[in-house]
Amino acid sequence: MKKIWKPLLYIVIVLGVLFAVLYPRLKEEPSKPGAAAKGGPPPAQKAPVTVLVLKSSSISNTIDVIGSLIPNEQVTLQPEISGKIEGIYFEEGSLVQKGQRLLSLQVNDLNAQLQKLKYNLQLSNTNESRQKQLLEREAISQQEYDQAVTSLQSLKADIANLNATIAKGTIYAPFSGQIGLRYVSNGAFITPQTKIAELVESNPIKLEFAIPGKYANEVAVGSEVTFTLEGDRTQQYKANVYALQSSIDVNTRTLTVRAKATNPGNKLKAGSFINVQLTIKKNAGAILVPTESVVPTPTGHMVYVKKNNLAQPVNITIGMRTAADVQVFEGLEVGDTLITTGTQFVKPGSELKILNVSVPIK
């Protein structure tokens, strides 16, 4: 019996070892992909993409620059002569009209001098008349008569000069506008260096900004610009260029431009910073493609188009850019079907699965 059980024991041990080694491999074999399939690799999947049918579009090349608002007219009111203020005829912050009297100085001493000169003028007129009669009788020389005439003319000139000085004692508004804060008081003695107030005309209001010199030939009188106030881009305003600097600044390489905008109610305040948008070029027959559809290459740029439901690469030449689009000069035509998204799944000749068409394909 011992001789029979011993070989059987060896057989059982060998079978157990073999089972332990082979069972895991037999268990994994059915789970391998393609184990039950016969033949070559599975068929390639279609690339999921969205497409756009190209059409003619309009594109504008605009530049954004910083500028400021300046008054249409502005002057610092100052007297031309010294004197004591006799009257102030304006309210701070009020609107005044051209020619309106704003301030007057005491000119009593000048008026007294004027009256004296007028008396002397009467005497000089009488003297000139007498001398003329004497000259006609040859009682005096021509020289004596000429001296009388010169004295008369000199008095007339002195009176005219004094009248002009007296007129300088009253200040009138040189143009219509809004007067600012007052810096003097009634009864104060002022000189030509004394600042009385600021007078500003802000309707229309001017814009001043500088553009890069390379765009100097792209801007002309009459060009339209849009602008927004600093800190508030929700409200847009329009203005028209009315003047350009005669030359480009050699230090900044920029050209200074001025434009005018209507300002009803003086809501726009001079001195404010503004953001100016100026259209340089317009192209009404451009082909625009989304920026994300353009693929950079070592030699330039390319896009994928749909041809017979297959992806075909096309080299392109690009131009101006906008926030979302790129202008294409060469490589594409109106009516081409452009692959806009899903280009990462596409290779030349890939079969396509169209997820969305922006414009129906004809």
For 60, 69, 204, 288, the CA distances from 274, given in Å and listed in that order, are 21, 7, 16, 30
Q: What is the DSSP string of 174-214?
A: SSSEEE------TT-EE-TT---EEEEE-SSEEEEEEEEGG
Question: What pLDDT does residue 69 have?
Answer: 96
How many angstroms separate the CA atoms of 65 and 226, rounded?
11
Q: pLDDT by residue for the chain (362 residues), tens digit each?
A: 445 556 666 666 766 666 665 555 555 444 444 444 445 555 567 888 889 998 887 777 788 899 999 999 999 999 999 999 999 999 999 999 999 999 999 999 999 999 999 999 999 999 989 888 888 888 888 998 889 999 999 999 999 999 999 999 999 999 999 999 999 999 999 999 999 999 999 999 999 999 999 888 888 999 999 999 987 878 899 999 999 999 999 999 999 999 999 998 888 999 999 999 988 766 677 888 888 889 888 989 999 999 988 889 999 988 777 778 888 888 888 888 999 888 888 888 888 888 888 764 44
CATH number for the region 49-60+284-357 comes to: 2.40.420.20
Sheet with 189-190: strands ordered across: 170-172, 101-105, 83-88, 189-190
The one-letter amino acid code at 77 reads L
Question: What pLDDT does residue 22 have?
Answer: 59
Question: What pLDDT does residue 31 have?
Answer: 46
Question: What pLDDT does residue 139 have?
Answer: 84
For residue 18 the two structure tokens come to 């073999």
For 268, 284, 333, 335, the CA distances from 56, given in Å and listed in that order, are 39, 8, 9, 9
> Any idea what DSSP says for residue 31?
G
> Given the DSSP bridges, would you call strands 352-357 and 47-53 parallel, antiparallel or unpaired?
parallel
Closest to 312 (Cα-Cα) out of 290, 289, 299, 331: 331
Question: What pLDDT does residue 361 have?
Answer: 42
Structural domain boundaries in the chain:
49-60+284-357, 64-73+202-281, 76-199
| Contact assessment for residue 278 and residue 225, using Cβ atoms and an 8 Å cutoff | yes
For residue 314 the two structure tokens come to 């096309």
Q: Which residues touch 2 (CB under 8 Å, ≥6 apart)?
A: none
For residue 101 the two structure tokens come to 């009297």
| Contact assessment for residue 296 and residue 248, using Cβ atoms and an 8 Å cutoff | no
Q: How many CA atoms lie within 13 A of 354 on its CB side?
A: 19
For 104, 124, 130, 151, 345, the CA distances from 140, given in Å and listed in that order, are 49, 17, 11, 16, 120
Question: What pLDDT does residue 288 have?
Answer: 85
Kindly state the helix (H) or strand (E) to which residue 350 belongs, with its residue range. Answer: none
Question: What pLDDT does residue 319 have?
Answer: 78
Q: Which residues touch 117 (CB under 8 Å, ≥6 apart)?
A: 155, 158, 159, 162
CATH 2.60.120.380 assigned to 76-199: no
Burial class of 75 by CB neighbour count within 10 A (0 to 12, 13 to 18, 19+):
middle
CATH architecture of 64-73+202-281: Beta Barrel (2.40)
